[in-house]
């Protein structure tokens, strides 16, 4: 996949903001980045869109600034000249797609029918944007349809919410979910609120949850004894594994000491790849050598730093 689209997929959420006043460009970018999302789509139809894209691109060179609502090749050219790193269209436009492909500009065209999806695939595109118009016409992407089109990535028509926060990350071909920045908040200059909503959206998507704590013990006998104590006290069934014993599901007694001075804490997430990207953007570092994979998909990785003597690792839910 194109590098820009790959970065968008690692973020997992694509904010959309209509900017009618250029003075909102910088504080919006600060709010989104401060909330953990280094990406935004600015519809070109907005009064201050071009200048806002130019300013945001210059001030925030690592942020992915895209232009939305592109209907013509002329608009695509204006957006790219302003600094847009990718193009999003509301409906499938062969002329815009051809224009972007010819200039190596990442393009995410709108699709409103299965035929549009097939056309996008025939153009060799990596991603499509399921339009609200498609939903109005009865084109609803079901889980089975996402599975059927597993060779192209989607931006679903509905945004991220508590109902779909765990289902969408389960699909490898969901590029990102929309998050519309409310116009009332922009007009009121409520950028702290926008930052808070951004943080809430990404935490909802990642779905962090404590799953278990691992206790480092010196040998098999100590691990067996410790797990047995929890079983006797609380009825947590002792379950033997290759390198540890579990007491129930939340207490792991390590036979040989593993990561961490005292042990480790496991935090589950809906998407370990996106969670890793989120923390790295915030300045956290990972022990890359600790990563474990299942069928080439990461399922475990530890942070470099301990917390209270415990190593902390992410766990793919």
Among 62, 55, 64, 81, smallest CA distance to 15 is for 64
In the prediction, which pLDDT does 314 show?
98
In the prediction, which pLDDT does 158 show?
73
CB 177 within 8 A of CB 159: yes
Residue finishing a domain among 205, 230, 261:
205
* Same domain? 135 vs 283: no
Tell me the torsion sign for CA atoms 218, 222, 224, 229.
negative
Task: Name the domain count of the chain.
Answer: 2
* Same domain? 224 vs 83: no
* Same domain? 128 vs 8: yes
C-beta atoms surrounding 196 within 10 Å: 14
CATH number of domain containing 75: 3.20.20.70
* Same domain? 9 vs 135: yes
Q: How far apart are CA 253 and CA 241, in angstroms?
A: 10
Query: 151: phi > 0 → left, psi -120 to 50 → alpha, else beta; which?
Result: alpha
* Same domain? 147 vs 34: yes
In the prediction, which pLDDT does 113 show?
85
In the prediction, which pLDDT does 270 show?
92
In the prediction, which pLDDT does 98 show?
98
* Same domain? 135 vs 240: no
CB 100 within 8 A of CB 92: no
Residue finishing a domain among 205, 222, 249:
205
The structure tokens listed for 106 are 């990442």
203 Cβ partners below 8 Å, 6+ apart? none
CB 255 within 8 A of CB 270: no
Residue finishing a domain among 205, 221, 252:
205
* Same domain? 13 vs 151: yes
* Same domain? 222 vs 240: yes
* Same domain? 83 vs 115: yes
* Same domain? 37 vs 19: yes
* Same domain? 84 vs 230: no
- Residue 235: CA count within 13 A, CB half-sphere: 0
CA angle 40, 144, 41 (to 5 degrees): 10
In the prediction, which pLDDT does 167 show?
65
Q: Which residue has the tokens 């278990």?
A: 212
Residue 243 belongs to domain spanning: 209-316
Q: How far apart are CA 101 and CA 76, in angstroms?
A: 12
Taken as a whole, the chain contains a residue count of 317
CATH number of domain containing 253: 3.10.180.10
Q: How far apart are CA 208 and CA 196, in angstroms?
A: 17
The structure tokens listed for 42 are 């600015």
* Same domain? 155 vs 298: no
Q: How far apart are CA 161 and CA 151, in angstroms?
A: 25
pLDDT along the chain (317 residues), means of 10: 94 96 97 97 95 97 97 97 97 96 97 91 95 57 68 82 64 88 96 96 93 95 96 96 92 92 97 96 97 96 98 97
In the prediction, which pLDDT does 256 show?
84
CB 197 within 8 A of CB 159: no
């Amino acid at each position: 996949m194109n590098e820009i689209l790959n970065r968008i997929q690692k973020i997992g959420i694509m904010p959309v903001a209509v900017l009618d006043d250029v003075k909102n460009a910088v504080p919006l970018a600060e709010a989104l980045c401060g909330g953990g999302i280094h990406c935004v789509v600015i519809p070109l139809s907005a009064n201050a869109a071009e200048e806002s894209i130019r300013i945001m691109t210059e001030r925030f060179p690592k942020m992915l600034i895209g232009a939305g609502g592109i209907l013509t090749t002329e608009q695509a050219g204006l957006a790219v000249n302003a600094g847009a790193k990718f193009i999003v269209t509301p409906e499938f436009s062969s002329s815009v797609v051809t224009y972007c492909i010819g200039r190596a500009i990442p393009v995410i065209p709108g699709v409103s029918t299965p035929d549009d999806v097939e056309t996008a695939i025939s153009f060799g595109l990596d991603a499509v944007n399921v339009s609200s118009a498609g939903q109005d016409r009865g084109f609803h992407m079901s889980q089975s349809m996402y599975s059927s089109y597993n060779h192209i990535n989607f931006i679903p028509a509905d945004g991220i919410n508590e109902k779909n926060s765990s289902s969408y990350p389960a699909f490898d071909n969901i590029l990102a979910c929309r998050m519309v920045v409310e116009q009332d908040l922009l007009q009121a200059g409520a950028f702290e609120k926008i930052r808070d909503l951004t943080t809430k959206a990404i935490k909802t998507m990642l779905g962090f949850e404590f799953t278990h704590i691992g206790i480092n013990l010196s040998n098999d006998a100590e691990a067996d004894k410790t797990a047995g104590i929890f079983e006797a006290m609380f009825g947590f069934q002792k379950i033997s594994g290759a390198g540890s014993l579990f007491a129930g599901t939340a207490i792991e007694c390590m036979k040989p000491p593993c990561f961490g001075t005292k042990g480790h804490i496991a935090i589950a997430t809906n998407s370990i790849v996106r969670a890793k990207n989120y923390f790295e953007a915030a300045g956290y570092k990972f022990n890359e050598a600790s990563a474990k994979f299942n069928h080439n998909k990461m399922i475990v990785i530890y942070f470099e730093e301990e917390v209270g003597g415990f190593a902390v690792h992410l766990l793919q839910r």
